[in-house]
Amino acid sequence: MLVVMRSDATEEQIQTVVEYIERIGCKAEPIPGGTRTAIGVLYNIEPLDPNAFLVFPGVKDAIAVSKPYKMVSREMKSEDSVVDVGGVKVGGTKFTVIAGPCAVESLEQAMTIGRLVKAAGAECFRGGAFKPRTSPYSFQGLGEEGLKILAKVREETGLAIVTEAMDIDCLKMVDEYADCIQIGTRNMQNFSLLKAAGKARKPVLLKRGMSATVDDFLMAAEYIMSGGNSNVILCERGIRTFANHSRNTLDLNVVPAVKMASHLPIIVDPSHAAGRRDQVIPLARASAAVGAHGLLVEVHHQPELAFSDGPQSLLPEQFAALIKEIRCILESCILPPEASR
Q: Which of residues 75-134 bind ligand PEP (CB under 6 A)?
A: 102, 128, 132
- Cβ proximity to ligand PEP: between 185 and 262 the closer is 185
1 scored as a contact of Mn ion (CB under 5 A)? no
Write the CB contacts of 333 (distance below 8 Å, at least 6 apart in sequence).
289
Q: What sign for the dihedral angle of Cα 11, 16, 22, 25?
A: negative
294 scored as a contact of ligand PEP (CB under 6 A)? no
- Cβ proximity to Mn ion: between 104 and 233 the closer is 104
Query: How open is the CA angle 283-285-286, to the nearest 5 degrees?
Result: 65
58 scored as a contact of ligand PEP (CB under 6 A)? no
Q: Rounded CA gap, 169 and 204, in Å? A: 16
Q: Rounded CA gap, 239 and 248, in Å? A: 5
CB of 164: closest distance to ligand PEP in angstroms?
A: 6
Write the CB contacts of 49 (distance below 8 Å, at least 6 apart in sequence).
none
Q: Per-residue x/- marks for ligand PEP, 225-244, CB under 6 A?
A: ------------x-------
185 binds, among Mn ion, ligand PEP, none (CB under 5 to 8 A by kind): ligand PEP
CB of 260 within 8 A of CB of 72?
A: no
Instruction: Give how many residues touch Mn ion by CB under 5 A.
Output: 2
Q: Rounded CA gap, 289 and 286, in Å? A: 5
Report DSSP state, residue 68.
S
Q: Per-residue x/- marks for ligand PEP, 264-283, CB under 6 A?
A: --------x-----------
251 scored as a contact of Mn ion (CB under 5 A)? no
209 scored as a contact of ligand PEP (CB under 6 A)? no
185 scored as a contact of ligand PEP (CB under 6 A)? yes
Q: In what order do the strands lie in the sheet with 59-63?
A: 27-31, 37-42, 2-5, 59-63
Q: Rounded CA gap, 250 and 124, in Å? A: 22
- Other CB atoms within a 10 A radius of the CB of residue 340 amount to 14
259 scored as a contact of ligand PEP (CB under 6 A)? no
Residue nearest to ligand PEP (CB): 184
Chain centre distance of CA 2: 24
Q: Per-residue x/- marks for Mn ion, 278-317, CB under 5 A?
A: -------------------------------x--------
Judged by CB under 6 A, which of 184, 198, 270, 294 binds ligand PEP?
Answer: 184
Q: What are the residues binding Mn ion (CB under 5 A)?
A: 102, 309
- Would you tell me which residues interact with ligand PEP (CB under 6 A)? 102, 128, 132, 184-185, 207, 237, 272
